[in-house]
């Protein structure tokens, strides 16, 4: 299967909605981008699960789960997912129930993404305890077991170090079979990728092709250790795109927040540059095993950037 392309929607986390004053009109603009992406042939659209912008500001930021539900009703074919929901913001049993309902709302087009959480201002502002990395990852491992059980078993009982569920019934379980696909984001080699190997249908990674290749090699070893088919996990990469007639113009469009999300020099490995440069970089990721790019672009609310990229790279 050829590499596919999905779109990160302009939801507000990186202040891409700065200056807008009409909440309803702004949400309609986001929906319009999703609909344009659907018509243009993108595989999926994704929204993040954050509560505070980066850096914190008074600019709009739409909530993840309610946005996903609305997008599924406003589109027809395209998949809708989270990149990714934060485990610590909601109990895993509740998230399992929410996901099942959302999958029914969309007729089986939902991709459930989950991660351990990382953005401390979300936690601090909304009153969630921000635990150390290892604890957040151990909580995630328990959470995904509860969620998968609630999607596949008649009742779920679980007693772990962090979560307890007793005879939990989840009906409906969603539309997709054998269950809603689960994406686990993160590249931690000792813990996160081990959780991916055990439980995930999709992984999501950050970094240049060499970094991604290394992470996938680690994931393969974890899969071998637990008896999992490495090929059964869809490999996605979070990416930023800036397509222009010249390299300089494409790089000039990169926003200031890029270093807060993307490691290293994104301009040197991202989908940034002329069509020829971007084509070479897509091929480099595809060569190391990437199945899907999840791309954010500058200034997408008008739709032209989304459609222009599709015309160049989506068959």
DSSP 8-69: E---STTSTTTT---HHHHHHHHHHHHHHHHHHT-SEEEE---SS-SS--SS----HHHHHH
Nearest to 280 by CA among 291, 268, 292: 268
Measure Cα distances from 190 to 80, 135, 227 in Å: 30, 13, 17
Residues near 154 by Cβ (< 8 Å), separated by ≥ 6?
169
| Separation of alpha carbons 117 and 137, rounded Å | 9
| Separation of alpha carbons 115 and 90, rounded Å | 12
Measure Cα distances from 219 to 119, 143, 243 in Å: 24, 20, 31
Helix (H) or strand (E) holding 165: strand 164-168
Give the pLDDT confidence score for residue 315 in this predicted structure: 73
Q: Which residue has the tokens 């939990």?
A: 168
Nearest to 149 by CA among 129, 167, 131, 123: 167
| Separation of alpha carbons 297 and 7, rounded Å | 8
**79 and 112 Cβ atoms separated by less than 8 Å:** no
Give the pLDDT confidence score for residue 125 in this predicted structure: 98
**254 and 271 Cβ atoms separated by less than 8 Å:** no
Pairing status of strand 271-273 against strand 156-159: unpaired
Give the pLDDT confidence score for residue 260 in this predicted structure: 85
The number of beta carbons lying within 10 Å of the beta carbon of residue 63 is 13
Residue-wise pLDDT tens for the chain (315 aa)? 589 999 999 999 999 999 999 999 999 999 999 999 999 999 999 999 999 999 999 999 999 999 999 999 999 999 999 999 999 999 999 999 999 999 999 999 999 999 999 999 999 999 999 999 999 999 999 999 999 999 999 999 999 999 999 999 999 999 999 999 999 999 999 999 999 999 999 999 999 999 999 999 999 999 999 999 999 999 999 999 999 999 999 999 999 889 988 999 999 999 999 999 999 999 999 999 999 999 999 878 777 899 999 999 997
Q: What is the pTM of this model?
A: 0.96
Q: Which residue has the tokens 């993840």?
A: 64
| Separation of alpha carbons 150 and 168, rounded Å | 7
CATH numbers and ranges of domains, the chain = 4-313 (3.20.20.30)
| Separation of alpha carbons 38 and 32, rounded Å | 10
Question: ω before 42 within 30° of 0 (cis)?
Answer: no
| Separation of alpha carbons 205 and 184, rounded Å | 9
Helix (H) or strand (E) holding 295: strand 292-296
Nearest to 49 by CA among 16, 12, 85: 85
| Separation of alpha carbons 16 and 98, rounded Å | 27
| Separation of alpha carbons 208 and 283, rounded Å | 12
């Amino acid at each position: 299967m050829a590499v596919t392309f999905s779109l990160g929607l302009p939801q507000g986390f990186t202040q891409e909605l700065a200056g807008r004053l009409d909440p309803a009109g702004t949400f309609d603009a986001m929906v319009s981008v999703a609909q344009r992406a659907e018509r243009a042939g993108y595989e999926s659209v994704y929204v993040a699960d954050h509560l505070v912008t980066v850096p914190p500001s008074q600019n709009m930021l739409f909530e993840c789960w309610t946005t996903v539900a609305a997008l599924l009703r406003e589109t027809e074919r395209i998949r809708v997912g989270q990149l990714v929901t934060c485990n610590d913001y909601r109990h895993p049993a509740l998230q399992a129930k929410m996901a099942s309902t959302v999958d029914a709302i969309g007729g089986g087009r939902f991709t459930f993404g989950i991660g351990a959480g990382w953005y401390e201002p979300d936690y601090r502002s909304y009153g969630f305890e921000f635990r150390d990395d290892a604890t957040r990852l151990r909580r995630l491992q328990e959470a995904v077991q509860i969620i998968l059980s609630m999607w596949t078993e008649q009742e779920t009982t679980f007693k772990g170090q962090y979560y307890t569920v007793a005879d939990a019934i989840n009906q409906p379980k969603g539309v997709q079979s054998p269950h809603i696909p689960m994406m686990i984001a993160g590249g931690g080699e000792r813990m996160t990728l081990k959780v991916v190997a055990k439980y995930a249908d999709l992984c999501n990674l950050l970094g240049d092709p060499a970094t991604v290749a290394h992470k996938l090699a680690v994931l393969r070893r974890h899969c071998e250790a637990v008896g999992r088919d490495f090929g059964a996990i869809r490999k996605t990469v979070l990416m930023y795109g800036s397509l222009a007639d010249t390299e300089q113009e494409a790089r000039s469009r990169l926003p200031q927040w890029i270093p807060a999300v993307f490691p290293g020099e994104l301009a040197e490995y991202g989908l940034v540059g002329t069509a020829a440069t971007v084509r070479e970089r897509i091929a480099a990721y595809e060569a190391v095993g990437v199945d899907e790019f999840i791309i954010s672009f500058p200034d997408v609310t008008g739709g032209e950037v989304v459609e222009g990229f599709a015309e160049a790279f989506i068959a």
